[in-house]
Every structure is written in structure tokens, then in C-alpha cells.
Amino acid sequence: MARQLIKGNEAILKSAVLAGCRAFYGYPITPASEITEAAAKYLPRVGGVFLQAESETAAINMIYGAASAGVRVMTASSGPGISLMQEGLSYLAGAELPCVVADIMRGGPGLGNIAPEQSDYFQVVKGGGHGSYRTIVLAPDSAQEMADLTALAFELADKYRNPVFVLADGTIGQMMEPVEFMARPVAPPRFPWAVEGNAATRNNLVSSIYLEPDALEAHVNKLEEKYRRCEREEVRCEQYRTEDAELVLVGYGIVARLLKSVVEELRSEGWPIGLLRPITLYPFPTAAVRRLAGQASLFAVVELSTGQMVDDVRLAVEGRCPVEFHGRTGGNIPSTDEIIRFLKNVWGRRRAAPRVDELEVLHA
């Protein structure tokens, strides 16, 4: 597995195999289909299982079965398919079953189109299924991170016994870049809780049903403590030239790459500007945003949506400084010139305005 020029989608699957994934159940959908195609090609070579299910609903329930047997397992889809998987994801989280789901986002709602968007944020990060559960969500911005974060996803899934998403826009999935894969493959692990169909695991039980209210409440509280631990230990983000930033940009995926170019161009003009890129969308890097809000005059969020992650940024800022938003949809990706025009407009309006804490002093 030397350095390869490879699509982000294929990098996901190759990294998964090296990380010990031995089963893939899925249904092809643009712009994620290359993941399913690669699974059909590579998993049988390592003694794994590939099956094209009759639907995404079937696929996610097959994932439940394989995960119950202790197999490192994954699936991949895009927005409409992920919608069909939501009930199964709730069951997986409720039964504390580890798995990895790649969502390569396309335009929506409905059938939308096959161009890149970031409008699955709500259904993946907030959880589209029923009940009080969370999924860990990793957001790569390159083909290299498609590989690296997929390997990490399997580790986190096992550590927390929970579904983990690799959430990427269609551009990152279809983009070809050089990728270096892990030097040594990971042997598929075994789990003491798994149901392996033998005498040793006969007493193991995998279920998400708790008919007594007190028993279900205790289980939900156990899950909640697991999520709080994840929020303490697994937050990941990249801060780019934020040490003296008064204007902080926030974006992920392909948008973050554009925003780095914006930062460099405006820095050359003397702007005190930087970028915070969330790598974990859940757990969200709230503390990092809050620290930067103590020095910044303005946050600007750019997304390929009408504004979904921006809500989490505003919550993290806690009113310490304004948060502006710029979004594109339909598969349109803003140019750096477009983003710079937006920033010059809002920065010009906001720079002369007093900070929130200054307003409080004036009011006092």
C-alpha cells in the first residue's frame, strides 16, 4: 500500500480494509457509489463479505447483525439513503453496536441532485432517528483524511460501542489526491460481548429493548455518560492562523480548503483573520470556539447549505461576538472571490460596531 493517487471514496474503503473491516453491506448511490464498488472488489480478497442489499433499510439492518457478531463492519451512502437508515441507526446506538457509516453528501431535499452539498449535517450530527442517542461524526477535508479518519472511525466505534460517521461532501469523495495508507494492517479484533454462535458466547445478549421504565432510564443515562466522556476526550479541530485573529472563519470539508486560501489572501492585505476547522462535528469543538470568541470581533461561517452548523457556532460563542453566515446550495461551491466579497461587506459593517461586552459597559 504505497502512496497512491486515488479518489477520496476509494481511500475510505481501502483504509477500512487495512483497519480490520471485514464486512460491507450497502446500496450504490451517487456520489458515494465508488465506496460500494471498491468494497465489492477488495473485501473478498481478504476473506471479507460484500453484499449489495436490496435497499438502504436492509443494509443498515445487516450492519446490525454483523456488528452483533463482533465483526468490524461498515456501509456507505448519501443523503436519501442515510434517511432510510435512520431507524436502524437508532437501534445500533441503543444496542451499543459499533459500526462505521460513510455519508458522501449530495444536494437535497428529496432527490435533489448528485452535486456536492453539506446539508446532511442536521440528520447526521443531531441524529435523525428516534430516542436520546448520538453518533460520533468525523469530517475530512482531503482524500488523505478520508483514509485517516476512516481508520480512526473504527477505533472510536469500538471504544465507545457506537456508530461513527465519516461525513464528507461530494467534492471530497470524488476528488483524486495522493494518499499514504497505514504501514501495517490491523488484525480484526474480537469482543467479549459479541454473539459468535458458539458455546462461549451463548449467554451474550444484544438488544435495545428495556420494557421497564426504570431499566430504560438507567440505560439511557449510561449512554449519556458515554457521550459526555466522548465530548471530554475526542474533540478534534484545526486552528489555522488564529493566534491573533479578530475575524474567525469556520468551515469544514471542501469549504475549509477554500477558507484557507481566503485567509492567506486577506492576511496579505493585513487582515487579522484565521480559520477554525471542526474535524469532529460531534463532539463539536465548543471550547475552542468559545476561547476564540474571547478575542474575536466577528465569526463568519461558510457552508454548502442554508445554515446548519452555524447554529452550533452561535451556541458556542454564547453571544460574545456576532456570527455571520454565507451559504450556497444546489451543488454550487462559492469561489474565494465570492467569499472575500462577503467578508469585506460584513467586516466593514461590523468593525465599527462595539463588541458585546463594550455595549454592556456603555449600558451600565
pLDDT tens digits along 45-73 = 999 999 999 999 999 999 999 999 999 99
Place of cell 450530527: 125
Work out the percent of the chain whose per-residue pLDDT is above 70. Answer: 96
Instruction: Give the pLDDT mean for 240-249.
Output: 98
Cβ proximity of 19 and 154 under 8 Å: yes
Q: For residue 359, what pLDDT band results from cuts at 50, 70 and 90? A: very low
Taking only the tens place, the pLDDT of each residue in 166-211 is: 999 999 999 999 999 998 899 999 999 999 989 999 999 999 999 9
pTM: 0.95
Between CA 104 and CA 30 the distance in angstroms is 8
Res 122 pLDDT > 90: yes
Between CA 291 and CA 289 the distance in angstroms is 5
pLDDT at 364: 42
Res 268 pLDDT > 50: yes
Res 127 pLDDT > 80: yes
Cβ proximity of 300 and 249 under 8 Å: yes
Domains in the chain and their CATH numbers? 4-233 (3.40.50.970), 237-363 (3.40.50.920)
Res 275 pLDDT > 80: yes
Please name the residues in contact with 211: beta carbons below 8 A apart, sequence gap of 6 or more. Answer: none
- H or E element in which residue 100 lies: strand 99-105
In order, the DSSP letters of 188-245 are PP--TT---SSGGGTT--------SHHHHHHHHHHHHHHHHHHHHH---EEEES-TT-
Res 128 pLDDT > 70: yes
Between CA 205 and CA 202 the distance in angstroms is 8
